[in-house]
Structure 1
Amino acid sequence: MLKLKKVKVIIIAIIGLSLNACITDSSKQEITSNKTSEAYEPTWESLSNHKETPEWFADAKMGIYFTWGVYSVPAYYSEWYPYFMYRKDGHPVEVYHREKYGDPKDFNYHDFVPKFTAEHFDAQNWAALFKDAGAKFAGPCAQHHDGFALWDSKVNPWNSLDKGPKQDLTGELGKAIKSEGLKFITTFHHARNAQRYASDPEHWGGYNSHFTYNPEYATASTDPEIAKLYGNIPEDEFNEYWFQQLKEVIDQYSPDIVWFDSWLNLIPEKHRQEFAAYYLNEAKKKNQEVVIAYKQNDLPKNLGVLDIEQGGKKDISESVWLTDVTLSNNSWSYVEEQTYKPAELVVRNMIDVWSKNGIVLLNCSPKANGIIPPEQRTILRNIGQWMRKHSEAVYETRPFDFYGFGDAKATDGHFGGQSATIEYTAQDGRFLKSKDGKFLYLFMLGKPEIGDKIEIRGLAKHDFYPEKGFKKITIMGSDVEAKWHFALRNFILTVPDSEMDDIATVFKIELN
């Protein structure tokens, strides 16, 4: 009987300990849950808790946006048309405007707004095109430097629902793009829109204001509506206006990426912090993993993803980064007689970006009437065809221990890093690896000849040799195997008798 009581006591004690453990674990989980559910405060310290690179973004590899707005109406020179038309310095845009439309005092930039009609705009067609091109995220330049908003805005009277197209362009695009299974990006360039030199006549044309302030022109208008387009409002008021427009887009369209052009540093730190806290807290409510992209040093590295315009890094980066590049050779927006990069050039430069832990944001340029020109559509479809064929080697991959090899010279880009228009050849190769570590992918950035020997010293130095080695190497898109061996100093792959890809041939290496 005594023994039975002891057993009961032991059992009760064990149950008690188990319950206590459960309660303790539960408490720990609750504490952890509470910690992760805490709201972001508008301080860099609090905002640094944000994971700047979600897994889906690192997997995506490519997105598409488009520079499209009122500046697409004159379709001359570039999207900087409104900057140059008022400068009175003999710039080609000023000369062109006076010859075609008259004195800017009589025909202002806002007189182009009714001509921005977008009558052929088809959001679903655009979204399908972007998906067909291989993009995993897409969206509009929601507002450029010129102050015209491409969404249904109550804050900005110059918006696409009330004026011009009379459509909520961002809203329609958001629905269409998300319906195709893509993430949604909105880009913002409006930090530069403020008139920062109104009280300084010697610097009315200062570079940090998009519109030249001049009492002769509407850029100096004090009419409450016109002044908002040209940014002629007190700077404190403008900074709040900048923030309120971002809030509208976040509230109405829930973008997965908010991307900023240069000049974000002109917005006071307080407002940048308030934006980030608002966006991240709203995303948390919606269970969104979002990205904030920035240029130069405009945001802390642990908050956002760095974007390098029209270029890329020269070596592998520990952190994921972004580059925005054009399909066109000149303007970001549509202009008459525009010329374009071939798909081969675009894809090969994208591969180089991916090999260095980068993501590519391609820019296309629709016409004011809402038509994406056939030349651009052809390039995008050619890119997409290559992407589909090699999707396994592109999406959900990560950089290898070294990015690659070759003879191509990495010329400098205009905004840091290297150019986005490097001419690669069959002598240049780049690597990516599968996330599970089972495969290595070798991209040849040109068309190798059958029987060529591809020598890669870096692989001979790697721990693949001699113990591990490879199981087999095949050309993606076929079952053709390639012969290979480790020499004393090099790894040597012999190009097999098989059709090579005109853009970039990919060798799939199965690892032991």
Structure 2
Amino acid sequence: MKTSILKLSAYLLLITTFSCIQNANKETAEVVKVEAPKFTEDWESLGKHNESPEWFKDAKLGIYFHWGLYSVPAFGNEWYPRWMHFEDNKFYKHHVENYGHPSEFGYHDFAPMFKAEKFDPDAWAKLFKDAGAQFAGPVAEHHDGYAMWDSEITPWNTMDTGPKRDITGDLEKAIKGNGLKFITAFHHAKNLQRATELGQDVRISHFPNFEGMPPTSDDPKLQLMYGNMEHEKWYKDVWLGKMKEVIDNYHPDIIWFDYVLGDIPEVYRKEFAAYYLNEAAKKDQEAVIVRKQHDMPLNMSVEDLEQSRKNKIGTKTWMTDATISNGSWCYTKDLGVKESADVLHMLIDIVSKNGVLLLNVSPKADGTIPENQTASLLEMGQWLKSYGEAIYGTEAWYTFGEGPTKEPDGHYKNHQAFHKLKYSNKDIRYTTKDYNIYAIVMGEVEANKELLLESFAKENVLDMTSIEKVEFMGSGEAIEWSLSEEKGLSIKAPSKPVEEMATVIKITISQ
């Protein structure tokens, strides 16, 4: 009897053990299944990513800002840390006169002076929202090797120096708390010192390797700022390490890259993209990667055009990054600012071609945004509050517009020509949403003026629309209009002007 009981016990123990092993294997398999990477580190896999989700297509406007140690001297532009080392130019002269020779007062010595004592992330986030932005965030790191977050990789960060606070973390909470998506911009691919047999590579290296200057130091701490180290170590531990650190800690919805990204070895660009997209997928984020040149395939990233834009409708969603100022991207003394109407017109033109505007602002070192920039943002935001229906969630019509003002060809090489563009009430841009077509006049329409929208002529539109209603948004007056196959849509404006910056005509067609 005792033997039988022992046999039965052993049998039950065996069954129980086998069942536990099965359950453990099942649980392990389930865990592996949940945590298995969705994207692998190859372009074919990464190309399955939806590079432009609907929320991004619909957003149309985002705001970011160049703010860092270069905001302390507030001279010239954000490339101060580079040009302060070159004799016979204004940056070097300014630096010597105000701070001393760069061999004695290096760029890193600005870190204690970057206080950000008046920085209010909640006020910034509210301003961006009131300006009409749908996403916002910082230049997390420029070319200068200074991290605008609490970094464990480099001591040159806002928690360990200067402000003694996690700037990016504070902004993430405030921006997402105001219902906006969060963007982080990275320019640090240029930070690595890349020498050539001909000497200093002026195009690629941000800090010059001049003897006796801090960028040539063998101090490991200074090397982390000035990018003076073994290349492979920098690519893996610094460039990629910083990307992963920001992804893990702040979960940005958009990561935007400046130029020179193509000089990061392909293996690390792939590793970044797979890591970011997989981490975003874990949080059900529809993440966006934006790049400037041919650094990543367009089937998994969005094209960006600096200080320029397309002169035709984009077949894919694209982006322009431009600054609200007339000069430097960072704050400098007496920095000029674009008129709000000019910024708005730029946005309208971009949206009419399936684009998105990333607008830069330039805070002071103390953490305040100058009044003239704030005023321009709020004036644009007030227009968007009233007429945003013609912007957000729209797409391009069959034509982007009509009128005498034409955008030049090309990318950044023609940015000066883009700066000189000035639209008038003779220029019209179109957007569409649902069964509505929006004709946006770039300026005020005179009272009782007869407008002819030639884009509605049969030879232009090809498929004539059946119009139910025409109205001037912001006016309650009934509008007289007529549609001619030969000439187009003729409209008589209201008895009083409606809007000074840009006038929206809403044309409802039959369903």
The residue correspondences of 1:17-166 to structure 2 (distance < 5 A) are 39-88=38-87, 90-166=88-164
> Counterpart amino acid of 2:60?
K
What secondary structure sits across from 2:111 in the alignment? helix
Residues 414-434 of structure 1 deviation map (CA, whole Å, 9 limit, x = unaligned): 616772552011110001111
State the partner residue of 2:437. Answer: 440
Partner of residue 205 from structure 2, selected from 202, 205, 209: 209
Q: Distance in 2 between matches of 1:472 and 1:414?
A: 39
CA contact (8 A) 1:308 1:417 kept: no
Residues 408-460 of structure 1 deviation map (CA, whole Å, 9 limit, x = unaligned): 132456616772552011110001111x2x11111000212123222222211
CA contact (8 A) 1:349 1:422 kept: no
- Superposed displacement of residue 81, structure 1: 0.2
The residue correspondences of 1:101-500 to structure 2 (distance < 5 A) are 101-197=99-195, 200=197, 202-204=198-200, 206-240=202-236, 241-411=238-408, 415=412, 419=418, 421-434=420-433, 436=434, 438-461=435-458, 468-487=465-484, 488-500=486-498
Could you state the TM-score of these two structures normalised by the residue count of structure 1?
0.90
- Superposed displacement of residue 215, structure 1: 2.1
Number of residue equivalences: 474
What secondary structure sits across from 1:82 in the alignment? helix
CA contact (8 A) 2:404 2:427 kept: yes
Structure 1 pair 421–303 and aligned structure 2 pair: CA distance change class (3 A): farther
Structure 1 pair 442–58 and aligned structure 2 pair: CA distance change class (3 A): same
What secondary structure sits across from 1:50 in the alignment? coil
What secondary structure sits across from 2:457 in the alignment? helix
Q: Which has the higher mean CA deviation after the structures are superposed, 481-490 or 334-343?
A: 481-490
Residues 292-322 of structure 1 deviation map (CA, whole Å, 9 limit, x = unaligned): 0000111111110001001110000110000
Q: Distance in 2 between matches of 1:480 and 1:78?
A: 49
CA contact (8 A) 1:447 1:502 kept: yes
**Runs in 1 of length 4+ with deviation above 3 angstroms?**
34-38, 411-414, 462-468
> Counterpart amino acid of 2:52?
T
Structure 1 pair 168–466 and aligned structure 2 pair: CA distance change class (3 A): closer
Q: Distance in 2 between matches of 1:455 and 1:471?
A: 17
- Superposed displacement of residue 482, structure 1: 2.2
What secondary structure sits across from 1:311 in the alignment? coil
> Counterpart amino acid of 1:230?
Y
- Superposed displacement of residue 148, structure 1: 0.1
CA contact (8 A) 1:413 1:420 kept: no
Q: Distance in 2 between matches of 1:252 and 1:100?
A: 38
What secondary structure sits across from 2:164 in the alignment? coil
What secondary structure sits across from 1:390 in the alignment? helix
Q: Which has the higher mean CA deviation after the structures are superposed, 480-489 or 172-181?
A: 480-489
Q: Distance in 1 between matches of 2:419 and 2:270?
A: 32
- Superposed displacement of residue 467, structure 1: 6.5
Structure 1 pair 244–119 and aligned structure 2 pair: CA distance change class (3 A): same
CA contact (8 A) 2:352 2:430 kept: yes
State the partner residue of 1:3. Answer: none
1:505 aligns with 2:503: yes
CA contact (8 A) 1:193 1:210 kept: yes
CA contact (8 A) 1:87 1:205 kept: no
> Counterpart amino acid of 2:76?
Y
Residues 133-154 of structure 1 deviation map (CA, whole Å, 9 limit, x = unaligned): 0000000000000000000110
State the partner residue of 1:28. Answer: none
What secondary structure sits across from 2:149 in the alignment? coil
Q: Distance in 2 between matches of 1:481 and 1:475?
A: 9
CA contact (8 A) 2:470 2:508 kept: yes
Structure 1 pair 246–35 and aligned structure 2 pair: CA distance change class (3 A): closer
Unaligned runs of 5+ in 1: 1-33
Could you state the TM-score of these two structures normalised by the residue count of structure 2?
0.90
Q: Distance in 2 between matches of 1:457 and 1:369?
A: 51
> Counterpart amino acid of 1:43?
D
> Counterpart amino acid of 2:73?
P
Q: Which has the higher mean CA deviation after the structures are superposed, 48-57 or 487-496?
A: 487-496
Residues 334-386 of structure 1 deviation map (CA, whole Å, 9 limit, x = unaligned): 00011110000010111000000000011000000101111111111101000
> Counterpart amino acid of 1:455?
L
Among the aligned pairs, what percent are the same residue?
45
- Superposed displacement of residue 474, structure 1: 0.8
CA contact (8 A) 2:304 2:318 kept: yes
Q: Distance in 1 between matches of 2:336 and 2:233?
A: 41
CA contact (8 A) 1:349 1:421 kept: no
What secondary structure sits across from 2:412 in the alignment? coil
Structure 1 pair 368–290 and aligned structure 2 pair: CA distance change class (3 A): same
Structure 1 pair 271–345 and aligned structure 2 pair: CA distance change class (3 A): same
State the partner residue of 1:27. Answer: none
Residues 263-300 of structure 1 deviation map (CA, whole Å, 9 limit, x = unaligned): 10110110000000000000000100010000011111
CA contact (8 A) 2:398 2:461 kept: no
What secondary structure sits across from 1:392 in the alignment? helix
Q: Which has the higher mean CA deviation after the structures are superposed, 39-48 or 444-453?
A: 444-453
Q: Aligned-residue CA RMSD in angstroms? A: 1.9
Structure 1 pair 63–421 and aligned structure 2 pair: CA distance change class (3 A): farther
What secondary structure sits across from 2:505 in the alignment? strand
Structure 1 pair 468–76 and aligned structure 2 pair: CA distance change class (3 A): closer
What secondary structure sits across from 1:312 in the alignment? coil
Unaligned runs of 5+ in 2: 1-32
What secondary structure sits across from 1:389 in the alignment? helix
- Superposed displacement of residue 38, structure 1: 5.6
Structure 1 pair 485–465 and aligned structure 2 pair: CA distance change class (3 A): farther
